[in-house]
Amino acid sequence: MAEGQEALLAKIKEQGDIVRSLKAAKESQEKIQQEVSKLLALKAQLGAENAVPQKFTLKTAKGTRDYNPQQMTIRNNVLDKIITVFKRHGAECIDTPVFELKDVLTGKYGEDSKLIYDLKDQGGEILSLRYDLTVPLARYLAMNKINTLKRYHIAKVYRRDNPAMTRGRYREFYQCDFDIAGQYDPMVPDSECLKVVTEILDVIDIGNYVLKVNHRRLLDGMFEACGVPDDKFRSTCSTVDKLDKATWEEVRTEMINEKGVTPEAADRIGEYVRLNGGIDLAEKLMKDEKLAKSKSAIEGLEGIMLLLKYCEILGIKDKILFDLSLARGLDYYTGVIYEAVLTQPIKIGKEEQTVGSIAGGGRYDNLVGMFDSKHKQVPCVGVSIGVERIFSVLEAKLAAGDISVRTSDVDVYVATAQKNFLEERLRVCAELWNAGIKTEHSYKKNPKMLNQLQHCEENRIPLAVVLGESELKRGLVKIRNIVTRQEDEVPRESLVDELQTRLASMNIKQINGPAK
């Protein structure tokens, strides 16, 4: 490395320290920017990036991971089940780019905006990686002037959060969303979203769960009734949202010390948020003296009652819990909100793991309007399935030996004990492939018989075709059942039929329960 460059690198480090100390001291934005601009100028002087000394570490980016074939099998298996449910409810599929103009994301996520990944300014547009699939959906609806859409979208989103990878929290992770956009009658699409969640959680069979529901208008009315000023509704709401992780005492302290709620108001809120129940609770609250005075509270309660009625008709009443402590973090919800949580820890090997929230969503009627030049609204309600948590539970079960996974679909392996039989193997493989049979063989010219059979066992390939010179001369080949080790001679010319008959009678699964 040139000496001049070393000096430059030292300067960059020094300047970086200055910026960091200013930030730590929470100095004025102006002062920080001034020093940042010096830092950028120094970095630019470094010139082409190949001049930077490279200490190469072989890894994926922080907070990201590869999916290996076992993980992909689990993932695709779960997603297939979810998509089946989405399609059963008539959802169409869309996709949007992984990055958006930064302006599209600006002002949508409140405090969390700092977690957005920006792209480098390489000349041209200023871009950011998508943070969720909801804002791109709203952009899509507004841009294409679409008023009604029932869509699902499964894709990765990006957040520069502190990763907790063992618990399934990554910087790059899947979202799996189902949303209904359109001007419809109250709670009809909303209740269908809840039905969708129950169908998915039932088919994935991950454990007992409860679907908590609440209503943003009721929360607003409750804050109003408790004496919280209008402009503090949202921030008080995000404090209430922490009740699933923190005690009421902690939440109360945050309300008073950080959000400027009076102790009296906080205590009144505290009485409400410990309430949960069914339609009877909603009816009781309708008669609550303080809430009855709030138009929003009445609106919210009427909404909840209608929703609970529809849920009863849909046969999912026993899975729903009206819970006044449910608040949800995001600003954009305007109506019903909901969250599915597992009611008991999951057993993985000999350990138990608490999973928590596994799906969530709600109504957001004003988001699309933020993108429309005339602020035309398209009301929306949707749900996001927490697939990463589901994946991480299943991966832990795999690691603990509770389940086993088959990563390739191969049904037939073409083997031989004979030397110089590669061409014959190729010929048979081509015939099977052309018949649509999932087939493999060794890419070695003269593989050992033992290795070939071992490959079948390791990959749970159910059948092998064993080619031998003497059999072929008699117009025969052997079919070997890998599990039972039984071998049958069949006519070479009816090999395809014979294999198809046998395969049709086998029940080959991708994911199996406890391994023997």
Q: Within positions 153 to 172, which residues make up the interface with a second copy, using CB under 8 A? A: 156, 158, 160, 172
Tell me the two tokens of residue 96: 């949007």
User: Is residue 493 part of the contact set for a second copy (CB under 8 A)?
Assistant: no
Options 67-75, 222-230, 290-298, 361-369: segment touching a second copy (CB under 8 A): 67-75
| Contacts of a second copy in 301-320 (CB under 8 A) | 310, 313-315
Sign of CA dihedral 272, 276, 281, 286: positive
| Contacts of a second copy in 399-428 (CB under 8 A) | 407-410, 422-423, 426-427
* Number of neighbouring beta carbons within 10 Å of residue 375: 11
- What single DSSP character describes residue 510? S
Pick between residue 34 and residue 501 the one whose CB is nearest to a second copy.
34
User: Is residue 250 part of the contact set for a second copy (CB under 8 A)?
Assistant: no
What distance in Å separates the CA atoms of residue 255 and residue 236, rounded to the nearest whole number?
Answer: 6
Decide if 55 contacts 360 (C-beta within 8 A): no
H helix runs in 274-362, sequence order: 279-286, 289-292, 295-313
Instruction: Find the binder of a second copy among 1, 375, 376, 433 (CB under 8 A).
Output: 433
Instruction: Find the binder of a second copy among 3, 26, 185, 514 (CB under 8 A).
Output: 185
- Residue 22 Cβ, how far from a second copy at the closest point, in Å? 13
Tell me the two tokens of residue 107: 């002002």
User: Is residue 26 part of the contact set for a second copy (CB under 8 A)?
Assistant: no
Instruction: Find the binder of a second copy among 1, 7, 10, 69 (CB under 8 A).
Output: 69
Tell me the two tokens of residue 273: 């948020």
User: Is residue 376 part of the contact set for a second copy (CB under 8 A)?
Assistant: no
User: Is residue 191 part of the contact set for a second copy (CB under 8 A)?
Assistant: yes
Residue 98's region, left for phi above 0, alpha for psi from -120 to 50, else beta, is: alpha
| Contacts of a second copy in 335-364 (CB under 8 A) | none
CA angle 236, 240, 243 (to 5 degrees): 160
User: Is residue 444 part of the contact set for a second copy (CB under 8 A)?
Assistant: yes
Pick between residue 266 and residue 316 the one whose CB is nearest to a second copy.
316
User: Is residue 34 part of the contact set for a second copy (CB under 8 A)?
Assistant: yes
| Contacts of a second copy in 133-152 (CB under 8 A) | 139-140, 142-144, 150-151
CA atoms within 13 A of residue 456's CA, in its CB half-sphere: 27
Site size for a second copy (CB under 8 A)? 111
* Number of neighbouring beta carbons within 10 Å of residue 186: 15
Instruction: Find the binder of a second copy among 44, 458, 470, 504 (CB under 8 A).
Output: 44
Decide if 236 contacts 223 (C-beta within 8 A): yes
